[in-house]
Structures are given as C-alpha cells and as structure tokens.
Amino acid sequence: MDRPYLFPMDRIGRPDAGEANAYFTGYIEAVPGEDLLSGLSDALLHAGSVVEATPPSKEDHRYADGKWSIKEVMQHLTDTERVFVFRAMAFARGERQALPGFDENAYAALSDPSLRTLAEVFAEHEAVRRATIAFFKGLPAAALTRSGVANGDLISVRALGWTLVGHAEHHLNIIDQRYR
C-alpha cells in the first residue's frame, strides 16, 4: 500500500534555501552529514562525551567573566531544545500565529544548575533529546516543510531541527576548545 508519508520517518534531509534566516542557516550549514536524525543522535553522543570528560572540579568553571559554566551551557542546550521543538510542533500542526523569541540569558540566570551535578543536568538533556528524536521520527513528511514565524523570522519545521544540532555542536565545540 502506498503511503502519503514515511512513518516512522527514517531520514530527514537538509532544509532548502529560504527555510531559515541567515543566522540559523549558519548553524545548519555547520552540521555534517545529510540526515537530521543521525545528526541529533551524533550530537547527543558528543554531549555525553563532553560530560564524561569533565571532572567534577570543572563543572561550574567559567573560562572568563560573564561566560556560562559547563553546567549552564548544558542547561541552555536543553532549554533551547524545548523552545525549538515547541516551535517545530506548533508549525508542524499548522499554527499560524507568530511565536515569541526568548532571552537565553534570562533563562540561564534563573535555571541555576549549580544545585545539580553535571550528570544530572545531562540526564535531563538526554531525555529531552530522545523525545526530540521521537518527535521528528513521527512526523509525516509534509510537516517537515511547514513553517511559521518565531522571533520575527520565518523558519520551517526541519530547519528548526537542523538548527538544534548546529546550535548544540557550536556550544559543545566551545567547551572542547575553551574548557579543556
């Protein structure tokens, strides 16, 4: 029987030009490979390796004044993922209203991951990432190119997913470079 879409989704390709603004396109273009689901999984493995390589004495370390600790970065990745997946879900389901932006610095200031270990912060991130993968895997193909306005810019569902991977890799690479 022919299906109008793949379910569960087995591969999600890159967004076309125009599915995201230039700022998010930079994150998207930085992601290796051609499959979003693999990218999400690979970024989770990278995050796990960062956590495993971080001694407890470095979990709250900041490489400069005003910069986030490793735990704050990991919490930021989780908070951003929740916001972006909400946007993706809303647009996939046909939401027509513009969605607001969010102030990541205000979120970080109130999250206070210093009360938890990095392993605990990562466990939350891992749970959210697994839910993200399940969400994207379960989408009908037609939903991937649906778009909406978030923070004043038009962006598609799949571009939001690819942006998540690029955003996570950006921050994890900074940890690799500046905290080691």
- Assess contact for 164 and 132: CB atoms under 8 A: yes
Domain contains 78: yes
Does residue 153 belong to any structural domain of this protein? yes
Statement: the pTM of the whole predicted model exceeds 0.95: no
The identity of residue 30, as a single letter, is: A
Summarize pLDDT for 30-46 with one digit per residue, the tens: 999 999 999 999 999 99
Domain presence at residue 118: yes
Say which CATH number the domain at 71 has: 1.20.120.450
Instruction: Map residue 54 onto helix, strand or coil.
Output: coil
Selection from 84, 73, 76 nearest residue 131 by Cα = 84
Could you tell me the CA-to-CA distances from 119 to 73, 122, 169 in Å, in that order? 13, 5, 19
pLDDT tens digits for 41-77?
999 999 999 999 999 999 999 999 999 999 999 999 9
* Residue 10 is assigned to a structural domain of this protein: no
DSSP assignment of 117-128, as one string? -HHHHHHHHHHH
Q: What is the extent of the structural domain holding 157?
A: 35-178
102 found inside a domain: yes
Q: Is residue 155 included in any domain, yes or no?
A: yes
Residue that the structure tokens 């037609």 belong to: 142
**Total domains in the fold of the chain:** 1
